[in-house]
Structure 1
Amino acid sequence: MGLFSSLFGRLSLIVVMVSIMSVAALCAMTEWIVRTETQAQIERSVDTDIAGLADIYITGGADELRQRMNDRLQLQSPGDIRYYLLASPSGTAITGNVKHWPALSSENSEAGPIKLADGTEIFARVTQLNPDLKLLVGRDTTGQSALLGRIRTAFLIAGVLLVLMVFVIGYYSTRRLKNRIGAINDAFREIGAGNLTIPVPVDSRGDELDELSRHSNAMTKRLVDLIAAHRDISDHTAHELRTPLMHLDNRLVAAMRQSEDDFHIETLGRARKDIRDIIAMLDSLLDIASSRAQKGDRTGLSECNISDIAGEMADLFAESAEDLGIDFSTDIISGVRMIANPAHVQRILSNLLDNALKYTPKGGAVKLAVQPGPVITVRDNGSGIAANMREKIFERFVRIDANGAKGHGLGLALSQALAERNGLIIGCHDAQPGALFEIRPERSD
């Protein structure tokens, strides 16, 4: 088997290709940002300078203007080279360090890049001070080109080093893993042929492959555990994503503090909101996975008063209902108890009541009821839920009104997972009109 015909070889090739494309994309984006920002700074500097000189001409006349231009030419630094030209209507130079008038219209205060006689490229703006006098102000763009060149060189060097490092690591990892996986495949081939006494070799390196071999030797039960662990890979990935997202959010906060540009601050604020939405979605997915994994586990459950919990939630949502113009009522039988996690019950009721208020129009009604069993119902007289959606809405990322509703469609999926964790189940029924959500024990008759 060739190097890149194996799984690990192809994976190494994919990582190399992704690394190259990522570096190229990052380089292009960085160059565009730097080019755009430096060009904007040059244009602002030129516009400010030409406006200042125009004011000097208005207040002090042509002689004062020539004196100020000469002063600026004498005081400029090598890192900030400025170009000026005060000329007659025909373009004949009166004073300044630009010898010839460019192909720019002074009557229209035109601006753009020009090339001087010595080959220097500058950005300039021209304006007409009076019928007999026109002015040019420019800035050297050589520094911008040099900066962009250094950025491209830096990305090229870093990209080459990154690709080489990824290739070398992938090559040697592939060779080592190929031999170990080959031995494991040989053992599984024997087992598949019916020789169940052949053990899967353990390399005693203490890594993931050794763990896989030990699990395989534990026969069917351990294989089932490995399959379950494989299904949870996405949830572990969500755990790993949360930390860098929080770091990114902190960096955006620092950038907002340092920026004085309102547009930048607003854009960074929207980015922070998107990050918080992603973190909330990851938290919900983790809660769903955790609740389903603990289904049937009684750890952390204790006797709790469902009536008291429902009453507390009703008090919390009563004010929101009043603000929305919705009639909110309760029918809570006191003393209803069950073995459950109180925080889970609160979250379930919070999600159901929040949805009921969200989909009930102004002037509508929402009712929360608790009966022995326990049987908890949340009823509204809104638009209701179509029959073909009453089971699908408990799936992840399913929303009734995807065009107008906000969120990720995880609220009801989380509520169902939490209910199952506590030995409950949620059903959705037609309230004629509206929707009725009913929570009851899974084994209820």
Structure 2
Amino acid sequence: MSLKGLKPTLFRISTKLTLAYSMVLILSSTLIFSFLYFQITHSLQGQERAILESKLDEYANRIEVSGMADFKQFFELLQKYDRDSALMVEVYGNKSEVIFAHEPTPNFNINKDLLISELNKHGEMSFEFSLPEVSSTEAVLVMGRNLKNGERLVVAKSTEGMGQQLRYLQKLFWWSLVPVALIGFLGGLFLSNSTLSPVRDLINSMKKIERGSLSTRVPIGGSDDELEELKLLFNKALDKIENLVNGLKEAFDHLAHDIRTPVTRLRGRAEIALTSEGDVESYREALQSCFENSDKILSFLQVLTDITEAENRSKKLKIEKKFISELVSEIMDLYGMAFEEKEIIVTQKLDSHDWAMVDPRLISRVIANLLDNAHKYTPPGGEVIIETINQTESVILKVTDSGPGIAAEEHSLIWQKLYRSDKSRSEYGMGLGLTFVKAVVEAHDGKVNIKSPVKDGRGTEMEITLQKMA
């Protein structure tokens, strides 16, 4: 199998997690064993030293109290009971000659010259050192004491028994490492599969979405871990994407409808002008109609461009200190006659200190859009209230009409491009006015809000907040 064929298996996260879990378990087991092995080794060595120290004290007291003759007689009797047979006991004179020697059973051999050489290095009362066994890898633990009469007592013991116990422990560890590795692999495989189950759900959902099923959602489990939170966020993102795609489809439908009307009129007037033999005035009217309809199309596209620039903040705002009441008055000069024709009562409650840092041209268009909507949807004889509220750090502009109102479920939809509620279908419009309002106000770091109905199930209040500091 080539490396290319191995990559999908070896480099999967589940495989990495399984191997990582196995390695952690093996390494932790090794560390625990090493610690225990060190403790056991230290304990066994301590026991060996304790035995030798005890015997060294016993033998030294017997020699110094009862003499060497009694000590030799003691070991003659000792052989009958096989007591302390594993110890090598020797007594050396002032000239390093051997006065007494008791050979251990089973016997172990050490280099006597090396032993005497080590003895001569130690002049302190008690001493301790290790020597290697002859023809063996084991060591011999040697303890000695200088007696009062100048003689030296030496007690030695092979560490072969301790070495056998430690080798048995090592063998036991290596054999136990196999099931530990197996348990680590199986446990890691189980944990990685259960941990990555939400990720596989995400992958399967993404594959379905790739095939065109935008309604697919990741199944949610009952846990509260981070992966479940990721699934929830993923589903929320899918909801937004689906809404955006559906909104885009609807927007294109509205766009096609809104552009088709002026284009059809333009084409129709141009066709009539081309197929009929009229006078100059007829051609002039046809060209005037073509100009007006093309101007509507350009205006529609320009508003779309302005919204995009405001949303992306790609167009630099020309910020200056401006009183909102002044901008309202300027726009009302343009809309005053239109309100009078519908006999709409306009009440202005403007604060004389309502200044904010804004781009006057864009905010004027925002106010115009709000007043235009209020004019369209307020019935004849109705009322429109325009109010500014001055605050410490901001200014609030409210435009309230007495129209039919907007349903609560549409409050979040009216800010979308080309969205038009059922109540507004009868009125001409591009469906971009409130989208433009929201984009421009938020480009000024402001906020937009809607309240509807206002009173007795009717009326809409549009509120924008603008900052005093840019």
User: TM class by shorter-chain length?
Assistant: 0.3 to 0.5
What is the TM-score with the length of structure 1 in the denominator?
Answer: 0.41
Q: Which has the larger radius of gyration?
A: 2
TM-score (norm 2): 0.39
